[in-house]
Structure 1
Amino acid sequence: MPYKILIVDDERMARDGLRMMVNTLKEWVWAGEATNGVTALEKIKLHKPDLILLDIRMPEMDGLSLLGKIREMGLDTLVVFLTGHPDFEYAQKAIRYGAFDYLLKPMRAPDIIEIIKKAEIHLDEASHVKQEYEESLRMAKDYERELLERNMREVIYGGRLDELSISNLSMFSDCDRLAVASILLDSYNNSLRGPCENILRNELQMEYASPFLVLQDGLSEWTILLGERSVRTPSIELNQLFDKIGLELCAAGIVNWRIGIGQKIQFAQASKSYEQSKFAAYFASTDKKIVFYEKLTDTDATLLLIPIDLEYAIIQHVREGNPDEAIRVFDKVADHYSKMTIRELEKHAVHFLIQLQNGNERLDDGNTLLDYVVDGDSENISTIIMRLRQVVKDYAERTRSYLNIQMNHVIQRVIRIIHEKYAANIKLGEIAEVLGVNPSYLSTLFKQETGVSFSDYLSRYRIERAKLFLKEANLKIYEVAQRVGYTDGRHFSQMFRRSQGLTPLEYRNRNGIFTEHDELINE
């Protein structure tokens, strides 16, 4: 983008000459002119020029006064003073006050060009430094966020809190209690994930006064950590909060969801609340979409007939596509089934299979699991248990196949985007937003599926494309760099050498391609 220049001088001939000169410069555009400091100030507010050529001696407001006003506005615009010999000491004083440079009148064209070029170099360097600074801040923020997410996952997945630095728990460091909520979409739909997560974050931001964190916990599941400080801050009650979230989800056309909320618990035992939230969510239904763990057994006495935590574990393993673990836990529950009457077991089997099917609606093929087990003509308890066991195994295996397909589908889309847009400044976070996936989750998934990180895969693909372009003799090396997404020729050459053991020029020569126009500076 061209830089903007403003001329402030009460001599018309000087303004005309400078304007004509600026119009010949490729990297500069004319932002206007002014005859005094007062008029100039209005134009500066409007156009925010990058460089001002400013006469020191002017009516109404002189150059130094205008420079003071510019700095008061918080602008870092470069100012070059135009002065005659009698004002030489005055100009030097202006430099100490923050002017970029000065030009002595009468001005020669080469001197003007030189100082504008000097300003251009300064602005280029400042822009580069600013970009690097902003990128560093973004990376630091992303790293802090990822560190927090990783540590909080460690906490809720059962890691020992004393192994973590309390400073790495960031916003939760002053919370002594924590409740965990689980949100599940029963029907997998990639287009709904982004809107769903946005609703969760927006409602929490508006309604919940204490610290919170939203974590993606699978392709269509989220975990919300709700902190509570020792000094209680006024905040919405959890039942009201999730009622509001539920209404917003439905208003957005997201209807196949369930929410389970664990108990508020000591921070060091957060994994227990996490398990409770998952457990409660599996027992939600179309009639009761939001379930609090602490109220679960109060409202459904049939759950006390057997260890429901084991049945929950079975459903969890089925949803994860882990048939071996599902069967291992089922065999423990089977001992309890065997002590029931046929009528009790048939009734409980219906309840269990409804929960299993509700938790796996993404596999809906038109059949009901009840058809496989409860046929109204069961001979004995062993037959029902055997059929239940087979259903659990089959369903877990089908889920595993389904998840593999979905996982591969997400990563294939990422790879397709890389292959299509490798020449652009693409970032994993932007791709994750397009796909409706949490960036840290997508990063982990990408490495699991491909064996390399996103950035390594992108770099390798760019180098492979560069090798093809380097065989086209009409392309300069810096042009090849630009075609594969590198704006800096030197950086491209360094990356190419690191990957191939050769510089781009050496690679060309080895392949019998000799050109006269490749610049050695790019090597």
Structure 2
Amino acid sequence: MANEKLKLMIVDDEYEIRQGLRSFDYSAFGIEVSDDCENGLFALKALELAPADILVTDIRMPLMDGLELAEKVAARYPHIKIIVLSGYDDFEYAKKCMKHGALDYLLKPLDFEEYEKALAEAARLIDREKDVQERAAVLERKAKLSAHHLRRKFLRDLLQRAMTDEAIELESAFSEVMLEENGEYAVCLLRLDSYPDRPRGVGDKEWNLILFTLDNLMQDLWDEQGMGYHEVDDKGQISLILTNPDEVAELKRSPEHLRARMERIVLGLKRFRGLLKSHMSYVMGPTVAGPGRIRLSNREAGALFHAPSAREEEEQAASEAREETIGGELERENGHRLIEEAKRFVEENYDRTITLDDVARHVHLNASYLSFLFKEMTGQKYIDYLILYRIEKAKSLLKQTNYKIHEIGERVGYENPRYFTLVFKKYAKQSPVEYRNAFYQAESGGR
């Protein structure tokens, strides 16, 4: 990447000027000319096929002038640095260009010293932005690792111990696990035949690689297929939580339906059997109502393997629901004010990762109490409000911009494009692509 040259596009309706700008020596700035076009319309089309880092454009051109081109490029490709050329010493032109994101406004005939300064500044800004992006990527990787650990802990708790509805709602918001309060669920277990012992001849390094491989495979074969969530324990048992309502309904009608899917998953793991030195078996627990009973399906599935099931100590729901005593009741008016402030915080920060704890700190409340108050005041869970707000923003972007789906997902707070698509489809009943296509079809049909 360090040796990769920056791409520059030239747009001018005069052939001689395009050739003159092409002949300039850009090598000192780490720049090469990637394309030249005779008007803004052709330039936009070319940018769709081959992106550029720097755009040098004339103002006065047929079909689409430089001002309109600058406006569209700034909206669609905000990373591109724009240098505008003009034969008119017009302050209003300069202001409009700067408004649309132009880095500099140079007069013709071109002063090449000024042109060199503009190119140097463009290259400097691009290098700085790349440094920022690299640092952000490091922070993002750390955040994703942290989110992975949070999700893994929550799923283990969900599978193994009794949890109150409030605790489930709170932890699901933290770990971005979507569970419906009145939904139905089932747990499927996959085990090595040697479970709970590690297969013979497998060292620590090899075993950790196996667990890592199993975790990534199940992410592809289960989670990202919209089936639900998975967890791989330290001994290689895979717990699959079935959350897809259509699949749960099909399982209740015909257990063979899910069995066929499980057989395909086991088949997909066959290529690792030589490495594992052990075959894999699977069982399915019963369908249960509500996320708080997922552990019961998991326990029944474990019993089917004739393994001694762990005796879980039932916790008192009433005491867990009130882990902290809330001193006094807030007046309803004050409660509404706090919830409106919480909503404003969400609306101002939805485009990044925010947790219920972040919102709670902003309004100076305990996260557990804010969760209770939010539902009490709005009749809606905090996580549902956040997701629906993001989905509405995503719909607007799908209708009003040409951003790619993954770019829209990032702009509404979802770094993982597949997860964004799953969430969008769950709440909008259409994938983002289907929603955009339906909108454009309706628009074209209305004309």
TM-score, normalized by length of structure 1?
0.46
Q: Do residues 172 (structure 1) and 196 (structure 2) align?
A: no
Tell me, yes or no, if the aligned pair for 1:182 and 1:277 is still in contact at 8 Å: yes
What CA distance in whole angstroms lies between the structure 1 residues aligned with 2:109 and 2:123?
Answer: 22
Deviation at 1:138, TM superposition (A): 4.9
Partner in structure 2 of residue 64 of structure 1: 67
Partner in structure 2 of residue 358 of structure 1: none
2:279 corresponds, among 256, 269, 281, to 256
Moved more, 108-117 or 251-260: 251-260
Partner in structure 2 of residue 268 of structure 1: 292
What CA distance in whole angstroms lies between the structure 1 residues aligned with 2:124 and 2:81?
Answer: 12
Partner in structure 2 of residue 37 of structure 1: 40
Partner in structure 2 of residue 278 of structure 1: 302
Aligned residue type for 1:166: E
Partner in structure 2 of residue 242 of structure 1: 259
2:236 corresponds, among 214, 217, 220, to 220
What CA distance in whole angstroms lies between the structure 2 residues aligned with 1:198 and 1:235?
Answer: 26
Partner SS for 2:128? helix
Deviation at 1:132, TM superposition (A): 4.4
Aligned residue type for 1:8: V
Deviation at 1:223, TM superposition (A): 1.4
Q: Do residues 185 (structure 1) and 209 (structure 2) align?
A: no
Deviation at 1:194, TM superposition (A): 6.7
2:115 corresponds, among 103, 112, 115, to 112
What CA distance in whole angstroms lies between the structure 1 residues aligned with 2:59 and 2:92?
Answer: 12
Count of residues in correspondence between the two structures = 284
What CA distance in whole angstroms lies between the structure 2 residues aligned with 1:34 and 1:234?
Answer: 57
Tell me, yes or no, if the aligned pair for 2:14 and 2:38 is still in contact at 8 Å: yes
Indicate the structure (1 or 2) with the bigger Cα radius of gyration. Answer: 1
Deviation at 1:142, TM superposition (A): 4.1
Residue 64 and residue 240 in structure 1: after superposition, are their counterparts in 2 closer, same or farther (change >3 A)? Answer: same
Residue 168 and residue 135 in structure 1: after superposition, are their counterparts in 2 closer, same or farther (change >3 A)? Answer: farther
1:93 corresponds, among 96, 118, 124, to 96
Q: Which consecutive residues of structure 2, in runs of 5 or more, have no partner in the other structure?
A: 311-447
Aligned residue type for 1:4: K
Residue 68 and residue 162 in structure 1: after superposition, are their counterparts in 2 closer, same or farther (change >3 A)? Answer: closer
Which of 1 and 2 has higher RCO (CA within 8 Å, sep 6+)? 2
Counting only pairs closer than 5 Å after superposition, residues 290-305 of structure 1 correspond to structure 2 as: none
Partner SS for 1:6? strand
Tell me, yes or no, if the aligned pair for 2:251 and 2:258 is still in contact at 8 Å: yes
What CA distance in whole angstroms lies between the structure 2 residues aligned with 1:28 and 1:147?
Answer: 44
What CA distance in whole angstroms lies between the structure 2 residues aligned with 1:208 and 1:236?
Answer: 15
Tell me, yes or no, if the aligned pair for 1:179 and 1:227 is still in contact at 8 Å: yes
Residue 165 and residue 201 in structure 1: after superposition, are their counterparts in 2 closer, same or farther (change >3 A)? Answer: closer
Partner SS for 2:109? coil
Identity %: 23
Tell me, yes or no, if the aligned pair for 1:7 and 1:34 is still in contact at 8 Å: yes
Partner SS for 1:102? strand
2:56 corresponds, among 32, 53, 56, to 53
Residue 39 and residue 166 in structure 1: after superposition, are their counterparts in 2 closer, same or farther (change >3 A)? Answer: closer
What CA distance in whole angstroms lies between the structure 1 residues aligned with 2:39 and 2:90?
Answer: 17
Residue 30 and residue 278 in structure 1: after superposition, are their counterparts in 2 closer, same or farther (change >3 A)? Answer: same
Tell me, yes or no, if the aligned pair for 1:176 and 1:228 is still in contact at 8 Å: no
Residue 38 and residue 227 in structure 1: after superposition, are their counterparts in 2 closer, same or farther (change >3 A)? Answer: closer
Deviation at 1:40, TM superposition (A): 3.0
Residue 142 and residue 79 in structure 1: after superposition, are their counterparts in 2 closer, same or farther (change >3 A)? Answer: same
What CA distance in whole angstroms lies between the structure 1 residues aligned with 2:33 and 2:39?
Answer: 17
Partner SS for 2:305? helix
Tell me, yes or no, if the aligned pair for 1:179 and 1:225 is still in contact at 8 Å: yes
Residue 206 and residue 38 in structure 1: after superposition, are their counterparts in 2 closer, same or farther (change >3 A)? Answer: closer
What CA distance in whole angstroms lies between the structure 1 residues aligned with 2:73 and 2:300?
Answer: 60
Residue 201 and residue 51 in structure 1: after superposition, are their counterparts in 2 closer, same or farther (change >3 A)? Answer: closer
Tell me, yes or no, if the aligned pair for 1:215 and 1:224 is still in contact at 8 Å: yes
What CA distance in whole angstroms lies between the structure 2 residues aligned with 1:48 and 1:73?
Answer: 11
Residue 225 and residue 26 in structure 1: after superposition, are their counterparts in 2 closer, same or farther (change >3 A)? Answer: same
1:80-139 CA distance string (max 9 Å, x none):
111234344322222123322211223222211111111112222333344444555554
TM-score, normalized by length of structure 2?
0.53
Partner SS for 1:100? strand
Partner SS for 1:120? helix
Q: Which consecutive residues of structure 1, in runs of 5 or more, have no partner in the other structure?
A: 284-308, 314-523
Aligned residue type for 2:23: M
Aligned residue type for 1:106: P
Aligned residue type for 1:112: Y
Aligned residue type for 1:245: M
Deviation at 1:206, TM superposition (A): 8.1
Counting only pairs closer than 5 Å after superposition, residues 41-440 of structure 1 correspond to structure 2 as: 41-71=44-74, 73-74=76-77, 76-158=79-161, 160-161=163-164, 164=167, 166-169=169-172, 170-172=177-179, 174-175=181-182, 177-186=184-193, 188=199, 200-204=218-222, 212-227=228-243, 234-237=249-252, 238-250=255-267, 252-253=270-271, 254=273, 256-265=279-288, 267-282=291-306, 309=308
What CA distance in whole angstroms lies between the structure 2 residues aligned with 1:270 and 1:30?
Answer: 60
Partner SS for 2:146? helix
Deviation at 1:31, TM superposition (A): 0.9
Residue 198 and residue 93 in structure 1: after superposition, are their counterparts in 2 closer, same or farther (change >3 A)? Answer: closer
Tell me, yes or no, if the aligned pair for 2:12 and 2:37 is still in contact at 8 Å: yes
Deviation at 1:215, TM superposition (A): 0.5
Tell me, yes or no, if the aligned pair for 1:196 and 1:249 is still in contact at 8 Å: no
Q: CA RMSD in A?
A: 3.7
Residue 150 and residue 62 in structure 1: after superposition, are their counterparts in 2 closer, same or farther (change >3 A)? Answer: same
Residue 153 and residue 195 in structure 1: after superposition, are their counterparts in 2 closer, same or farther (change >3 A)? Answer: closer
Residue 146 and residue 193 in structure 1: after superposition, are their counterparts in 2 closer, same or farther (change >3 A)? Answer: closer
What CA distance in whole angstroms lies between the structure 2 residues aligned with 1:233 and 1:186?
Answer: 27
1:254-296 CA distance string (max 9 Å, x none):
582111333334643444433332221247xxxxxxxxxxxxx
Partner SS for 1:31? strand
Moved more, 101-110 or 161-170: 161-170
Deviation at 1:242, TM superposition (A): 2.9
Tell me, yes or no, if the aligned pair for 2:13 and 2:38 is still in contact at 8 Å: yes
Tell me, yes or no, if the aligned pair for 1:151 and 1:164 is still in contact at 8 Å: no
